Chains A and B, each alone.
Chain A
Amino acid sequence: MILNKYRDLKGQALIEILLGTIIGVIIIGGITGILAITLRGDSETKNTQLAASFVQDLVNKTKSVSESNWDSVYGLSKGSSNFYYIYYNTSTSLAEIRNGIETVTSTDGKIFHRYFYIENVNRNYCGTGDISTSSATGACLTWPPFLTYISEDPSTQKIATFVKWDSDTRSVKATQYLMRNLNNSFVQTDWQGGAGQESFPVSGSTTIINDKFSASVNINFSSSGSITMATTTSPANLTSSVFDTFVASGSAINSILWKGLQPANTTVSFQIASSNNSGGPWNYIGPDGSGGSYYVPNQNTSIAVNPTNHINQRYFRYKIFLQTSVVQNPGVDDVILNWSL
């Protein structure tokens, strides 16, 4: 009786209890693991997003500073060992670039470190074509230049911006290229006022481009709005007055263009001189940086100025050369130089 009573009782087998426990442990452990990963991941995501926003902020600030003063970026030491950050100077109300690494604290007290470094940029076509990682190939002996001539473009900088956190074990990086895009123009359309003017007059902080120039040889400037060769038997040239860009840290000259008449077998060529002193000295140079080379654009066709020449010079002037091998005479109506602040 008693044996039969116990035999008929229904209960949990040991193996079932063990399996139930195992399943429970797996489910609870799994949920705990997911929660831990979620919380950790959520924190990491938040930090990454914060870092990305800090990077974006510094990227924009660097661009702003470069636009206000290109040389404040270009003039810095280059390479990945020279760290910089943007500091807002409350006494001058201006943002300025400082050496070192900035500490940024998020609203919840998280510490981030932020900085950028700068690298020079090379381009093919002697600094005027595609951005290239190849090394510079040396002086540009022909102009327009060949594809294979690589040289630095001082109007382009590569900026790598970093934000690091968790003892700098975690980081976010963004790369941008800054270009000297704010541009202006020098346009002279008349020379009838004659020679003898060393510098263009200024009004406030603006240079007035009038109808005068510095000197000329064999140039007929008596017609309004045009210059020609006085005689076609010998070369002619004209030296402009000095133009003040009023950019204290200097400018960059981007291109030359002339408009007028260009009969066959006639040539109009240019050299440019620049200085940080209104009194010079004035070295008239062409694309290879010497006095023996010339920019020779066709009528109404822009030609790039070698960007490695005339870097950050406040004053510039041009010298125009007119030549012909026939009786026809080139006529220049406008001389236009594009320059960047």
Chain B
Amino acid sequence: MTFLPMIILIGAIILEIGAAVALIVNLLTESGYGLKNSQEAFVLGRSGVFDAMIRLERNKDYTTNGAPYFLNVDTGKSFEVIVCNNSKINVASSTCDITAPGYQNKADIISTGKVINKNRRLEAIVNVNGATTEIQIESLKEISI
């Protein structure tokens, strides 16, 4: 009889259509909400930089010594911040590299915003004026994770 091959064929077609639908839905969701989550991760990363800056305004010598501090903003949303003063952040070893040139009277800030599965990382170099305690941002850029 031809029933078994036919049933297999129909089943395969249904499965294929189902897989195609799932793939399309996933792609569309990812492109829509992925962008939205990525943008919010950037905003949170930027908030982390500002948070580090106000800590420096209150204490010009503020540092996390290379270790991050965290803030859970909402469910699935957070940022983590590392601050090194007069030194460069070594992310891999979670330390401050005091031998790195060009970081005298500067603070290195790396902030990572996280929303669901999207992460954005920003690095700010901040001038710390030891004579006046003024904190001025020198550069702010996105870096790879």
Q: Is B61 an interface residue (CB 8 A)?
A: yes
Q: B25 contacts A51, CB within 8 Å?
A: no
Bound complex: CA A31 to CA B24 (Å): 12
- Chain B residues bordering chain A, tally (CB within 8 A): 47
Q: B17 contacts A255, CB within 8 Å?
A: no
Q: Which of A31, A177, A187 contacts B131 (CB 8 A)?
A: A187
A130 CB → nearest B CB, Å: 6
B9 contacts across to A, CB distance below 8 A:
23
Q: A45 contacts B32, CB within 8 Å?
A: yes
**What's the count of A-B pairs with C-beta under 8 Å?**
147
Q: A255 contacts B21, CB within 8 Å?
A: no
Q: Which of A15, A41, A156, A176 contacts B28 (CB 8 A)?
A: A41
Bound complex: CA A151 to CA B82 (Å): 23
A304 contacts across to B, CB distance below 8 A:
58-59
Q: Mark B134-145, 1 if CB is under 8 A from A, else 0.
A: 110100000000
Q: B133 contacts A33, CB within 8 Å?
A: no
Bound complex: CA A305 to CA B58 (Å): 7
A173 contacts across to B, CB distance below 8 A:
40
B105 CB → nearest A CB, Å: 14
A56 contacts across to B, CB distance below 8 A:
39, 43
Q: Is B99 an interface residue (CB 8 A)?
A: no
Q: Is A196 an interface residue (CB 8 A)?
A: no
Bound complex: CA A27 to CA B9 (Å): 11
Q: A37-B21, A128-B58 are in contact. Are A177 and B13 (CB under 8 A)?
A: no
Bound complex: CA A180 to CA B16 (Å): 56
Q: A185-B133, A255-B60 are in contact. Are A179 and B54 (CB under 8 A)?
A: yes
Q: Is A134 an interface residue (CB 8 A)?
A: no
Q: A19 contacts B58, CB within 8 Å?
A: no
A51 contacts across to B, CB distance below 8 A:
36
Q: A302 contacts B50, CB within 8 Å?
A: no
- Chain A residues bordering chain B, tally (CB within 8 A): 58
Which of B13, B29, B59 has the most chain A CB atoms inside 10 A of its CB? B59
Q: B36 contacts A48, CB within 8 Å?
A: yes
- Interface hits, B1-35 → A, CB 8 Å: 2, 6, 9-10, 13-14, 16-17, 20-21, 24-25, 28-29, 31-33, 35
A306 CB → nearest B CB, Å: 10
Q: Which of B31, B40, B47, B69 contacts A177 (CB 8 A)?
A: B47
Q: A131-B71, A304-B59 are in contact. Are A34 and B54 (CB under 8 A)?
A: no
Q: Is the interface of A mostly helix, strand, loop or mixed?
A: mixed
- Interface hits, A39-79 → B, CB 8 Å: 41-42, 44-49, 51-52, 55-56, 59
Bound complex: CA A334 to CA B129 (Å): 14
CB closest residue in chain B, given A160: B74
Bound complex: CA A15 to CA B3 (Å): 9
Q: Is A155 an interface residue (CB 8 A)?
A: yes
Q: A336 contacts B54, CB within 8 Å?
A: no
A227 CB → nearest B CB, Å: 18
B83 contacts across to A, CB distance below 8 A:
none
Q: A254 contacts B35, CB within 8 Å?
A: no
Q: Which of B16, B28, B50, B71 contacts A45 (CB 8 A)?
A: B28
CB closest residue in chain B, given A52: B36
B32 contacts across to A, CB distance below 8 A:
44-49
CB closest residue in chain A, given B31: A45
Q: A175 contacts B77, CB within 8 Å?
A: yes
Bound complex: CA A33 to CA B55 (Å): 55
CB closest residue in chain A, given B74: A175
Q: A41-B25, A177-B47 are in contact. Are A185 and B36 (CB under 8 A)?
A: no
B20 contacts across to A, CB distance below 8 A:
30, 34
Q: A181 contacts B50, CB within 8 Å?
A: yes
